């Protein structure tokens, strides 16, 4: 039985509360569900010996590298690397002293900046950060709108993550903490830009834009959330930036790689949730230890603005730093898999998603190698979709014999009611082989498995009528020509 806390985390990370349909619950009950889940999660964590994050500020020891609780038996599950030097006084009331931060002055005022340098020799979970630089990640057309870049090296990119006042977006949402990571020499530098109050936003955004320059951007769900939010804030501060002599508006990076979209392909089968926390745990082998939940971070900043607890907002910095470093490690894993898709060990379901991603990237040979390796490992249920996709690839390449073999195998593995492979075999036999009798057998086998009167049934009935006409026409033409050397040849025997 799985850990109840893990189940609640999965619900919260996916944003899908496990509740009955809305009609079954009053509005007040529906509104209370997320908070009730969070309360339950905190209760469970408190039972595992974790401190109550809502309690009074108190000195807290750094999280150990070895995981605790459920992760203690997994020697590969380790925590994040040390993110720079320790603050001089972890109990200091001032945030600057607690974090080792410094004010950064600009033409529009100051904001707070924190910089951490992580050695590339460090491990982030199971991944050595230096290894994440070994393989560039191919880019889809939508990743590089200018059309110049075809692959992105981690050493050339800026890894971007924001902590915001909410998730709604729009002009009312502000990014109060922005983390930007980049490779510099033998280190991965995580630079964080922090608003001590709303009036510092123009200065922060101007400095962030200057630091980004024209470098490619890597994010996690940034295409849908982080980058549009920052774009809105840059536009709202355009006049202030122009008065300071800075470029107005938002930058245009030459490429933007959103790792969430890549992860949904690469780990489509093994992971039900593709939240960053799930990928850290199952792909990177990372245990964060004590961490401030993402849903708690906005309130931690508002508490800070009111002059309250500094410890909670300091933990938001740590959460953001780990997010940024995790993106580097995750990009390295994606590059490693895509560089050798046939050799990478994965479940057959993950092979299917990886092959689809390779096709989107235009790497047909890589997709073939990936599917072929998956077929060699798969059982019947897992192998059918791999044969189907490989049949589609071969047919598109004009390799009809190979396509037919894969479609026939997929049809043989298909459970009752799954007739897509039968239809593909019928099409190839009819249009490429002119084997009307064989096509008719597959079409009739498919018709027997679909609901009568459905659109699929009508399409199959139409195909059977056309095949009957063609067979009758062929028989009439044979009689007109008289007996010939091919008249007595039976069609190839093909079983459904």
> Cβ-count burial of 1 within 10 angstroms (0-12 exposed, 13-18 middle, 19+ buried)?
exposed
pLDDT reported for residue 92 = 56
pLDDT reported for residue 31 = 42
Alpha-carbon distance of 139 to 142, in angstroms, equals: 8
pLDDT reported for residue 4 = 54
pLDDT reported for residue 82 = 59
Alpha-carbon distance of 389 to 374, in angstroms, equals: 12
Contact assessment for residue 331 and residue 138, using Cβ atoms and an 8 Å cutoff: no
Alpha-carbon distance of 292 to 6, in angstroms, equals: 16
Q: Look up residue 161 and give its DSSP letter.
A: E
Alpha-carbon distance of 392 to 388, in angstroms, equals: 6
pLDDT reported for residue 360 = 92
């609901």: which residue's tokens? Answer: 451
pTM of the model: 0.77
Residues with Cβ within 8 Å of 271's Cβ and at least 6 positions away in sequence, in order, are 263, 278, 279, 282, 283
Alpha-carbon distance of 297 to 166, in angstroms, equals: 9
**Ordered alpha helix ranges (H), 286-361:** 297-305, 310-339, 348-360
87: which 2 tokens? 């603050």
Three-state secondary structure call for residue 138: strand
Per-residue pLDDT tens listing for the chain (496 residues): 455 555 544 444 444 333 333 343 344 333 444 544 555 544 444 444 333 333 333 333 333 222 223 333 344 456 677 554 444 455 555 788 888 899 999 999 999 999 999 999 999 999 999 999 999 999 998 898 876 789 999 999 999 999 999 877 667 899 999 999 999 999 999 999 999 999 999 999 999 999 999 999 999 999 999 999 999 999 999 999 998 888 888 888 999 999 999 999 999 888 889 999 999 999 999 988 777 888 889 999 999 998 877 788 889 999 999 999 999 999 999 999 999 988 866 677 789 999 999 999 999 999 999 999 999 888 888 899 999 999 999 999 999 999 999 999 999 999 999 999 999 999 999 999 999 999 999 999 999 999 999 999 999 999 999 999 999 999 988 887 766 554 444 444 444 3
> Cβ-count burial of 248 within 10 angstroms (0-12 exposed, 13-18 middle, 19+ buried)?
middle
Alpha-carbon distance of 251 to 179, in angstroms, equals: 17
Contact assessment for residue 350 and residue 266, using Cβ atoms and an 8 Å cutoff: yes
Strand partners, 258: 219
Alpha-carbon distance of 313 to 301, in angstroms, equals: 6
């Amino acid at each position: 039985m799985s850990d109840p806390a893990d189940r609640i985390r999965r619900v919260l990370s996916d944003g899908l509360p496990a509740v009955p349909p809305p009609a079954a619950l009053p509005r007040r009950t529906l509104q209370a569900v997320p908070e009730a889940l969070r309360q339950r999660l905190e209760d469970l964590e408190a039972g595992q010996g974790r401190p109550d994050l809502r309690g009074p500020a108190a000195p807290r020891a750094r999280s150990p590298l070895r995981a605790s609780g459920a992760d203690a038996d997994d020697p590969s599950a380790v925590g994040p690397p040390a993110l720079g030097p320790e603050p001089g006084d972890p109990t200091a009331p001032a945030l600057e002293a607690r974090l080792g931060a410094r004010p950064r002055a600009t033409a529009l005022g100051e904001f707070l900046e924190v910089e951490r340098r992580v050695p590339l020799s460090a491990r982030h979970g199971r991944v050595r950060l230096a290894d994440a630089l070994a393989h560039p990640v191919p880019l889809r057309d939508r990743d590089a709108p200018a059309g110049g870049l075809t692959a992105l090296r981690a050493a050339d990119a800026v890894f971007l993550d924001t902590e915001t006042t909410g998730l709604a977006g729009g002009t009312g949402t502000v990014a109060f903490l922005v983390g930007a990571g980049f490779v510099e020499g033998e280190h991965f530098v995580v630079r964080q830009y922090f608003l001590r109050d709303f009036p510092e936003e123009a200065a922060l955004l101007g400095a962030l834009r200057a630091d980004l320059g024209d470098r490619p951007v890597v994010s996690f769900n940034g295409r849908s959330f982080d980058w549009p939010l920052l774009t809105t804030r840059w536009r709202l501060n355009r006049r202030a930036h122009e008065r300071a002599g800075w470029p107005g508006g938002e930058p245009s990076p030459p490429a933007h790689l959103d790792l969430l979209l890549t992860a949904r392909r690469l780990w489509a089968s093994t992971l039900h949730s593709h939240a960053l926390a799930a990928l850290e745990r199952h792909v990177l082998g990372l245990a964060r230890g004590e961490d401030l939940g993402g849903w708690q971070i906005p309130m931690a900043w508002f508490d800070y603005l009111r002059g309250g607890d500094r410890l909670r907002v300091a933990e938001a910095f740590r959460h953001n730093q780990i997010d940024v470093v995790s993106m580097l490690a995750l990009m390295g894993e994606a590059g490693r898999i895509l560089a050798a898709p046939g050799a990478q060990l994965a479940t057959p379901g993950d092979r299917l998603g990886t092959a689809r991603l390779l096709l989107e990237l235009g790497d047909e040979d890589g997709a073939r190698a990936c599917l072929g390796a998956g077929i060699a490992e798969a059982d019947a249920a897992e192998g059918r979709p791999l044969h189907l996709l490989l049949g589609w690839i071969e047919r598109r390449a004009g390799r009809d014999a190979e396509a037919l073999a894969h479609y026939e195998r997929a049809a043989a593995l298909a459970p009752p009611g799954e007739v897509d492979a039968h239809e593909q075999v019928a099409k190839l036999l009819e249009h490429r082989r002119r084997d009307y009798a064989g096509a008719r057998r597959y079409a009739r086998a498919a018709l027997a498995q679909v609901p009568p009167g459905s659109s699929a049934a009508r399409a199959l009935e139409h195909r059977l009528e056309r095949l009957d006409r063609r067979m009758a026409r062929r028989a009439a033409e044979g009689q007109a020509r008289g007996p010939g050397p091919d008249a007595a040849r039976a069609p190839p025997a093909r079983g459904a």
